Chain A
Amino acid sequence: MEFFSEIGANLSLGFSQALTPENLLYCFIGVFLGTAIGVLPGLGPIATIAMLLPITFKLEPISALIMLAGIYYGAQYGGSTTAILINLPGESGSVVTAIDGHQLAKKGKAGLALFTSAVGSFFAGTVATFLIVAFAPILAQAALSFAPADYFSLMLMGFVAAVVLAQGSLLKALAMIVLGLLIAMVGPNESGAPRFNFDSPEFSDGFDFVALSMGVFGLGEIIRNLEDEKTRQAIRSKWRDLIPTKAELKEMAAPILRGTALGSMLGILPGGGAMLGSFAAYSLEKRMSKNPQEFGKGALAGVAGPESANNAGAQTSFIPMLTLGIPSNPVMALMLGALIIHSIIPGPKVVTERPDLFWGVVTSMWIGNFMLLVLNLPLIGIWVKFLTIPYRLLFPAIVAMCCIGVYSVNNNPFDVFTMAACGVAGYILYKLDCEPAPLLLGFVIGRLMEDYFIRAMRLSFGDSSVFFTRPISLTLLIVSAVALILVLLPAIRKKREEAFAE
């Protein structure tokens, strides 16, 4: 009982902060800006927040944080719009959304895909916010028990998920993952020594995810569309397409629930957990589905699950930052920087010393999620309209936006060239029937996995049994092994059948 009255008191404190007209306005500005930059290909929350940082110095710390948080999760919302409509995932979280979301759009169901994404995200955001309200300190403590060895096993599980992502040939998917891994090798290793940089400062920090993703997915898609007038699939959608049928509602309900649960759990882990959420959810849905062959061809569950996981993770990744002062990603680090400028030293004491700030921000997230839903549902019609713009105008605009966006990430012109080269590579991969999603996953997980592996081995003085003696790590390894067997079994069986047929 005490538990609930405490939550009630915290919530009312939070709402009293978040519901002031001023903070409502900043929340709205945040989610609106977030949606806008999310929709614009390449422009990400980091560049936007860095640009807005000077403005936040003049605001109350709580208003500043509410607005910056809004930009962050608003961008997650907006990012899926571009992924679905033009196959351009600007963040690792929306890579999998692009797979089935864009196929749905091609089938003329862009409205439905966007609706699913919006509703799934809202539901996930609400649940995840509630989790923060009720359990933030406990969850943060639980996340701390993840040692480098456990993170390594978690990333290994991500790799297995990447294999499941594959729709066509398993061998090609594996090849793509390894290619992604190899690309990730460029740049400094864990101890800072450079690798494969050809003595050029351009390569010294490795490749940028946004440049790679924009190139392989976005530009590759555009080149492919330019190839032949006839293969250009017009995406048309009408307003009424947005409202799902009863059967479709039923189809998305369970994936949304599962995605929310998975995303919330992984989002708590500051070492790259949030990023794994959408990948893991996609793999899970494909496993659970009665029609796994539909995945990759426009399965609704392939949008609902990952999108919910993505947004749930975006919310729960605030837990380590708000309760411990540990940033889960560069965006959070920026927000902590904003707090420091306001003379609030981030750390575990913020919850007790500035409860108004903590609960105000948390409740504002729920309000912000609601605003996003209200803002985005009517916008779907407008987004879909954008696709009726003739290609000769749309394509150059997308390419120009991509260039600006990619440049803005690091203020580095080299990233734009990287993107251009990746565009050509993406087109070649398409011609070879190789999917880009496993490549990107291999790229993001590869580097993390190597870092965690080395850290784990250093801490265990070179004893690799640490991966099997730590309970968390062992559990994750067993899950990965089982999942891998489940994936491989049908392939093996098929081989056998083929052999028998001969």
Chain B
Amino acid sequence: MRKWLLAAAGILALGISGASAQNYPTRNITLVIPFAAGGPTDTVGRLVAEAMSKSLGQQVIIENLAGAGGTRAAGQVAKATPDGYTLLLHHIGMSTAPTLYRKLAYNPLNDFEYVGLVTDAPMSLIARLNFEAKDLKGVLEYIAKNKEKTSYANAGIGSASHLCGMLFQAAVKQQLNTVNYNGTGPAMNDILGGHVDLMCDQTTNTTGQIKGGKVKAFAVTTKARVKNLPELPTMDQAGLAGFEVAVWHGIYAPKGTPKDVVAKLTDALQKALKDPKVIESFANLGTEPVPQDQATGAALVAKLKTEIEKWRPLIQSAGVYAD
């Protein structure tokens, strides 16, 4: 009995020492994705997880914890044991949640350790095929003429298309007729059917339709043009000066995760972002990994801070809240 207890204590001690970076990681790591499997964020997460597994020597397993616009997953990871075995990959929603949700159970700036930025996914402004405008200038003229009769589809509150729509409406200084859908699929369906005018969504969702000639595309929302949609100008080039939005992704760990463990994770992330397979897969999604100096905790915190400040006034003046 005594022997048995000793053995158990030994195993326990091993388990505890496993939390230090010396031999971290000693078992599978869970990367929580706050959205359903199959979506753009999930795809980014899976590609990075596979590449990080290689350099960490342990499997990074994806767990999809969808719900409450991504805040359920973030809240759970914030409360998880800070041992480096539970991580979160979240997108731009991490910075909008503190304003969209007035009763958020966690603080994005206080409850996490920051591993690094992953990628800035571009978005594109599209319209139904029989929309009369030819380019962004035409869209702006159409909006000036039709005002709030112009309809804009989004994939639900807090989604990338919702955020882009808020920014767009602020930029054109015109409230549009916003139609909410639950997910990009149904929204795209109504764009293809010609029932709704405009949508701005991640290129992951729009590229297939743009290349297939089923929608009109006007511009991409990133600072630079997108490689696999070379014919599209940026919003800035096409006539909306300074308009820029990207769906940025970052990896987080619960507050209190040992510094050396976070450093190991940052290192693994940087290696993953240099992986040719990741670069190629990202390119197919219309995006690319962030530069190495951005794949750091410091860069992620800085990004998070500026983005929270960027979205707060926009959301508040739009007056839409998710709780």
Contact = CB atoms under 8 A, between A and B. Distances in A.
Given A192-B156, A271-B186, A345 B192 contact: no
Please give me the 7 A-B residue pairs with the lowest Cβ-Cβ distance, nearest first: A347-B208, A192-B157, A337-B38, A348-B212, A334-B38, A144-B193, A50-B37
Contacts of A338: 38
A144 B192 contact: yes
A337 B75 CA distance: 25
Interface string A456-477: 0011010000000000000000
A337 B323 CA distance: 30
Nearest to B203: A345
Given A192-B69, A205-B67, A270-B189, A459 B195 contact: yes
A349 interface: yes
B281 interface: yes
A326 interface: yes
Nearest to B189: A326
A184 to B, nearest CB: 13
A147 B281 contact: no
Interface string B177-221: 111111101101110111110000000100111011110000000
Given A330-B36, A349-B211, A451-B182, A411 B63 contact: yes
Given A347-B211, A348-B214, A411-B64, A192 B192 contact: no
Interface in A409-464: 410-412, 451, 454-455, 458-459, 461
B185 A333 contact: yes
A291 interface: no
B285 A340 contact: yes
Task: Choose among B50, B75, B178, B185 the residue with the greatest number of A CB atoms under 10 Å from its CB.
Answer: B185
A386 interface: no
Given A337-B39, A411-B63, 4 more contacts: A57-B46, A146-B193, A343-B284, A349-B212
A44 interface: no
Interface in B62-114: 62-69, 72, 75, 103, 105
Interface in B27-80: 36-39, 42-43, 46-47, 50, 62-69, 72, 75
A412 B186 contact: no
Contacts of A335: 38
A345 B181 CA distance: 22
Contacts of A345: 204, 207-208, 211, 284
Interface residues of A, number: 54
Taking residues whose C-beta sits less than 8 angstroms from the other chain, chain B's interface range is 35 or more
Interface in A301-357: 320, 324-328, 330, 333-338, 340-341, 343, 345-350
Interface string A185-213: 00010111110000101001100000000
Given A57-B50, A147-B193, A270-B186, A205 B39 contact: no
Task: Choose among A54, A145, A190, A455 the residue with the greatest number of B CB atoms under 10 Å from its CB.
Answer: A455
A120 interface: no
Contacts of A455: 179-181, 190
A54 B50 CA distance: 9
Given A194-B322, A347-B212, A458 B37 contact: no
A56 to B, nearest CB: 11
**Interface SS of chain B: helix, strand, loop or mixed?**
mixed
20 contacts: A46-B37, A50-B38, A144-B189, A193-B323, A194-B322, A205-B68, A270-B186, A324-B189, A324-B192, A335-B38, A337-B42, A337-B43, A340-B285, A345-B204, A347-B214, A348-B209, A410-B65, A411-B65, A451-B182, A461-B177
Interface string A27-65: 000000000000000000010011001100100000000
Interface string B132-175: 00000000000000000101000011100000000000000000
A72 to B, nearest CB: 13
B320 interface: yes
A192 B163 CA distance: 13
B208 A201 contact: no
A148 interface: yes
Given A271-B186, A341-B47, A348-B209, A458 B195 contact: no
A341 B46 contact: yes
Nearest to B183: A333
B151 A459 contact: yes
B38 A333 contact: yes
Contacts of B281: 341, 343
Nearest to A335: B38
A53 B63 CA distance: 12
Contacts of B280: 343
A344 to B, nearest CB: 9
A337 B284 contact: no
Nearest to B196: A459
Nearest to B195: A147
Contacts of A54: 46, 50, 62
A169 B103 CA distance: 45
